Each structure stands twice: as C-alpha cells, then as structure tokens.
Structure 1
C-alpha cells in the first residue's frame, strides 16, 4: 500500500514560527491579487519583496520546476528581442516587459513554495476565496449603486469589482467558485449552505461582469469539474449527491438570473452581450479580421513588433493570446509559450486522478488552466496575475508528485 513518505525532522519552534509567518505573507499576496484598482498594485509591491527574499534565503528550484523557469525565461527573452524592434522605445513598453518577467517569476515562486510544503495549497485557496467574495460583492454592490461612489467598481455598466477590467474580474472568480463547489460535493451536507451562498455570490458577480469569456469559462469549468469528479468518485451514493446538488445549484442560478433580468438595465445589456458576434468582432478590421492580418504580419516579423504596438497599427489590441505571443514576444516567445501550455496540461492530466492530499487543488487549477487556454482565443491572458498563480499551482503539484514518487522508491 502506497503512502507519502516523510523524513522525520527535529521540531524547531523558531523555524516553525518562521515558516508559519512566511506562509501567511504568501497567503496575503494571493489575497491582494483580487484588488488591482491601480498599478503598481499592493500585490506587486508585496510579491516583489517576497519573491526576492524567498530566493535570497534559499528557496530551491527543483529539476521538476526548472523547465517552468526555463520556458518562461525563453518566453521573456523573446519579449526583450521584440523590444529591440522598436525605433522609439517608450517607458510603458519597457514596463510591459518588466511586468512579464515579474509575473513569470511569481509562477515559479508559487510552484517552488508548493513543492516545498504542499500544505500551503489550502491557505492559498482560502485566501483566494476570501478575495473573490469581497471583490465580487464590491462588483455587485457597485453595479446596483448600493452606496455613494459605488460606480468606481463598474465600467461601461459592467461589474468589475476591485479590478480595472470586467474581463479580468470575471475569470478571477472562477477558480474560487470551483474550490467551493468541490468542497460542497465532497464535504458534509451540513456545511453546504455556506458554500452555496459563496457560489451564488461569485456566480452572480461573474454574470454582472457581462464578459462573454468569463461566462464561457465559468460554464466550461463547472461542467468539467463535475465530469472529472464523476470519473474519480464512482459510487452510486456520490453520483446521487452530485445529481441532487447540481440540480439545486442550477435551479438557484436560474431563479437568480430570472430576478436579475427583471431590471431593465440588466436585461438590455444581457441581450446585447449574448449576441455571438458583436459589432467589433466582424466587419472591416474587426476582431477576427485583425487576427488574420496579425498572423500574416508575424510571417514578416519573426521577432515580433514589440509590446503594445499592435493596438497602434490596428484599431484595437490583439484579443488573442496566441497572436499576442507572436506580436509582443516573436516566434521565440510563441513557441516557448505553446510548449509550456502543452507540457503543463499533459503533466496535470497525468496526475489528475491520483489520490493525494493535493489532488483537489490540482483538479481545480488544471481545469481552470485548460479553460483559460480556450478563452485565450478571444482574449489576452498575458498579464493576468491569477493565470500565473494557476500555472504555479499545477507545476507545484507536479513537483510534489515527483517528490512523492521518489520517496516511495527510496
């Protein structure tokens, strides 16, 4: 019978206190990722110091996490080379590349700290849920102008919480929703009401973001979670529980949606956003036309055209992560990014159903990662902080699995 083998370590109260403190600081960083009203946000300020200190005081990069670091470095080398293609380099373009490098380091950081102590995963997701509930409530209250100045949490009559863009706000809420759903399906029924309330708050906030990418991501991830859990838990009792709770959740969401659509403003915007092709999607130099022209341009400019240049040439930005990689990071960045996504998805899939303490967190992160890859066809996920957090979680769980397997062989 397999079991995780732990080497006995002498208890050191001071070391334990330090580990507890730095774990809570890490959780604070995750919590602050839900509050990005202005840049640099508190998240950046805390994470820059935290990443520097952790690596300075001996945080190790294992052979499993090393490919993540290598691929992200190559990706950002592509960004630096693309920067040299510019005749006049602006400060904001240099800052863009610097943010890319910083976010890459945060992914490696999360992977390394999770590998070091997988128990930190619970703290990470608890902090993420807390941030999502608070910023989600701000988005809901702001949408309905519940207090003076509440409109600061909206944009274009769309909820955006403590973010700068509804299209980032909505996807940020999906992973915490899945975490609550997993706990509801696996936990005791007596604990379900609180989780259901949290799920309803987050689902309603996603709806009010009026982001089609967020809606699609939410639908895909919730269905995928139920499907994967049905593959893992094959007892009739569990299947019945999933069926009952899923029906209850669907009925609750339908009722909530019916109530929301009674408001004229909500109904009008909902009808507009549910159109498959918006005005800015089709037509001359619309989203899809820009994608085609951008891929043609990539054939002529193998090193890219530089960050933030596509929107200067065409009416809007790329709104496609693959095209963004080609334009801002060149073919070097594009190939490394595609390789990273394939590697990450395949590694997570290989370990997805293994019974481990970190398995629930890997399941949620892997599903959300796949969902983000899919919506990347219609939106840029390049500088989304939570995307790099998800990336780090999948690699951290993969590294924890490698350590587990090595311990079993010894």
Structure 2
C-alpha cells in the first residue's frame, strides 16, 4: 500500500510538470503560427514534435473530439484518391502531407483544450502577441521605416511575416476580436494596452489591402458586439458596450483617416476598395474559373489532384468549395461541407452558455463563420490558423459535453 502511495506522490508532480510543459509548448506553437515567411516554417517543426510527444505521453482523443479526427481523415482520404488520377504526381504527395499535418494539429488543439481549459487563455494571448508583432513588421515594411523591412511587403501590400497578404490579413481577425472582447468586458483601467494592440492589428489588416480581410474584420466586429448585446441582459452593460463600441469605431476611423493621408495608401485603397477587380471578371477571370471548375468537377468524382487546377488555368481555384472538389474529390467535398455544418451548429448551440470558455468559443465561432463566407472567393485549405479555430470550437464542445456529463452524474 505504501509503495502505491509513494508511486502516486512521485507521478503527480511529474504529470503536472508534463502538463505545464505541454501548455508552454502549445503557447509557443501558436505564437510561431504568425511567422510563416518560408516553408517549412518553425511552426511546422515545433508542432510536429509537440503533437507526436503529446499523444505518446498520453494526451487522449475523447469521443467528443473523435468525430473531428474522423472527418479530417476522411477528407484527406479523398485527397489520396485524387492522386490516383494524376499522370505526374509532382508535389501532390507533399501537398497532402501538409494537409494531414494540419488536420492533426487541429485534433491536437481540441484534445489539449479538453485536457486543460486554461490553455485557451494562453492560446489567445500568444495569438495576440504574434498578431501585434507580425502587424508591426508589415506596417514598418510598408512605410519603409526600417531598411530591409520591405521583405514584409508584397506588391505594395503589407504581409507581415507571411508569404501572402491574403493570409496575413485573416490571421489577425481572431486576436483583434479577443482584444475587442477585453475592451468591452474588462475594467477601463486595463484598456490602454488593449487599445494600442488593437490599433496596430487593425492597421495591419488595413494595409494588407485584402478585401476578404476587410470584410472579415467588419463582419466579425459587428457579430461580436451583436452577440454580446444578446448575451448580456442588463441595461448598464449594454450601454457600456454601445458606448465603447462607438468610441472604438471613432478611434479606428481616425487612425485610418490618418493612414489615408499618405498618397501611396490612398491610391492603393481606391484601387482595392472596388468590389470587382480586373482579374475577377472576364474570360478565365476568378468567377469564370469558378464556373468552369465546378462543371469540370462534376465529371471528376475523384478530383483532378492537388495543384493541377493552376496548371490548366492561369491561377488557383480561389474558392474553398471548388478546392475541395478538385483536390479531394466528391468524398472530400461532402466531408468538408459536413464538417463545417457540424462545427458551426455545435458552436452555435454552446456559444451563449455561461461557461469559463464561452468567450473563446464565441470568438472562434464568429471567425469561422466569416472564413466560411470568404471561402467563396479565397482558398483557406492550408491556413494554419483556420485549423486552430476548428480545434478551439471542437475543444470547447468537448468541454461542454464533459460539463453536461458531470451535471447529470451529480
């Protein structure tokens, strides 16, 4: 009996140390997701090691997270089938290897959150830190404030430590919502740092000149305020939200007006603010490629293979639904649609319940809704932060299921 007690005494500190180390490495991994200027990025190296060690050390995939794993694996099976129709595999296997890796990171995040809900705060704080730093790099590069920082721009658009402004912009949305939620929910005394961080991130979104990121930022901010007004029933709190929201809008507008005083910014804004660009319309433009691609996919149940679309047409699909059809076949498309419906419905059911993890779930759910919408004009397939968002929603769903089981048993 004494040996068993002694063993438990020894194992508990070891287990606590492993969990602390896991939380620290998870936080570090999320932070590194904001710095993907080349591939493979440090994020991949850290996450491959972290995911492997975590599951080997006993991180469990519960019944609540299991469906996410099954859906993502089935999605990638569709991609493997698509390889069979390719005459030349080229980089196809590597593309699917990345897809599988990102799928496993999503499952890992969900399992890690279910294992320890306090990791949610660490995840979002690391995301905010990464967003502020990568935004600052993009801003400094855009205005040529530091020699050599032009590497953080592309085609006169801020891209931070990313390869593409169209990924850089959407990456910033979830941390901006986290700061907004803090401004609306916390004491005014804690506001200065949040306001400063939000202004840096908002300017980064603006200077990315990504129409999808602009729309996503506007939609997400409005949705956050609306849901908080819906959730909080007291008149005083609702008045506080409305006043602070109005103040935040005025500050952001003032900051943007200041940025538009630059002729370079004003000129590019006038061009990018047009709803339809030259490359959207016309023969083999974005929307024409969508139409032709969907028709072509109706005759290709296994898909046409990863990155084959851009060999047939001038550019990639720029549509996540078409991407699912061409790269993962009908099986992948049906699986992806099912996963999005399941994810959004689960998040919607749990979003307004008073739980410690409710703010994180609400933010992730709003941003996923926005990503599903912009997926009609952009390809989100290999966006690292999108898989993180999936993991957050499913992890919070697993926490809710465990909470409900505890209530029923008590």
TM-score by length of 1: 0.97
Residue 26 of structure 2: aligned partner: 26
Aligned to 1:364: 363
Matched, 1:47 2:47: yes
* Structure 1 residue 366 displacement after superposition: 0.4
State the match for 1:248 in structure 2.
Answer: 247
Deviations 1:168-227 (A, max 9, x none): 000000000000111111100111121111111110100000000000000000000000
What is the aligned partner in structure 2 of residue 79 from structure 1? 79
> For residues 5-404 of structure 1, what are the structure 2 equivalents within 5 Å?
12-90=12-90, 92-404=91-403
Select the structure with the greater relative contact order (CA < 8 A; seq sep ≥ 6). 1
Deviation at 1:14, TM superposition (A): 2.9
Q: CA deviation at 1:68?
A: 0.3
In the TM superposition, residue 59 of structure 1 has moved relative to its aligned partner by 1.4
C-alpha separation in 2, matches of 1:12 and 1:107: 28
* Residues 53-101 of structure 1, C-alpha deviations (whole Å, 9 max, x = no match): 11112211111111100010110000000011101111x2211010000
Q: For the residues of structure 2 that align with 1:185 and 1:250, how far apart are their CA atoms? A: 13
Whole-angstrom CA distance in 2 between matches of 1:375 and 1:88: 31
Structure 1 residue 306: Cα displacement:
0.2
Q: Secondary structure at the match of 2:87?
A: coil
Alignment partners' CA distance in 1, 2:396 and 2:236: 29
- Any unmatched runs of 5+ in structure 1? 1-8
Shift of 1:131: 0.5
Structure 2 unaligned residues grouped into runs of 5+: 1-7
After TM superposition, give the deviation of residue 246 of structure 1 in Å: 1.0
In 2, the alpha carbon distance for the partners of 1:102 and 1:14 equals 28
Hey, what's the Cα distance between the residues in 2 that align with 1:60 and 1:243? Answer: 42
Q: How many residues align?
A: 401
- The offset of 1:13, in angstroms, is 2.7
Distance 1:388 1:22 in 2: 19
Stretches of 4+ aligned residues off by more than 6 angstroms = none
Using the alignment, how far apart are the partners of 2:280 and 2:215 within structure 1? 17
Aligned with 1:36: secondary structure? coil
Structure 1 distance, partners of 2:145, 2:331, is 48
Structure 2 CA distance, aligned partners of 1:38 and 1:49? 19
Q: Output the CA distance in 1 between the equivalents of 2:375 and 2:161.
A: 22
Aligned match of 1:3: none
SS in 2 for 1:300: coil
Q: Distance in 1 between matches of 2:123 and 2:253?
A: 31
Residue-by-residue CA offset, 1:128-152 (whole Å, 9 max, x unaligned): 1110010010011010011110100
2:309 and 2:271 map into 1 onto residues whose CA distance is 27
Q: Which secondary structure does the structure 2 equivalent of 1:12 belong to? A: helix
Q: How far apart, CA to CA, are the structure 1 residues paired with 2:77 and 2:17?
A: 39
Superposed CA offset, 1:298-344 (max 9, x none): 11111100000111101111000000000000000000000000000
Q: Deviations over 1:95-128 (max 9, x none)?
A: 1010000000000000001011111100111111
